[in-house]
């Protein structure tokens, strides 16, 4: 798995590949309103999925075991229905 910096550099390299493809294809920059990465060639789709996985791993490593537990607990609590008055 490596350290945080190594993982971040791998994430950056994958993001640069995806950005380069978008720019070369005349697509808009990635954004929450545009599905820029929705129809990628197979090789780049694999890169995108690896990017998602590695960013999740980076987040989990940065949180640590206690942080992950607390995040899970608060996520579950947020989705519980509130009692009616």
Q: Is 36 helix (H, G, I), strand (E, B) or coil?
A: coil
Q: What is the largest CA-CA distance in the chain?
A: 57
DSSP string, 39-85: S--HHHHHHHHHHHHHHHHHHHHHHHHHHHHHHHHHHHHHTSPPPP-
Q: Are 70 and 14 in contact (CB under 8 A)?
A: no
Q: Return per-residue pLDDT of the chain as tens, 85 residues.
A: 569 999 999 999 999 999 999 999 998 888 888 888 888 999 999 999 999 999 999 999 999 999 888 888 877 776 667 777 6
pLDDT, position 51: 97
What are the residue boundaries of the structural domains of the chain, listed by start? 4-78
pLDDT, position 48: 95
pLDDT, position 73: 82
């Amino acid at each position: 798995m490596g350290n945080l910096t190594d993982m971040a550099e791998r994430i950056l390299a994958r993001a640069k590949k995806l950005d380069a493809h978008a720019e070369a294809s005349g697509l808009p920059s990635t954004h929450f309103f545009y599905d820029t990465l929705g129809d990628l060639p197979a090789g780049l789709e694999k890169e995108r999925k690896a990017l998602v996985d590695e960013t999740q791993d980076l987040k989990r490593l940065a949180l640590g075991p206690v942080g992950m537990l607390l995040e899970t607990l608060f996520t579950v609590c947020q989705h519980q229905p509130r009692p009616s008055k």
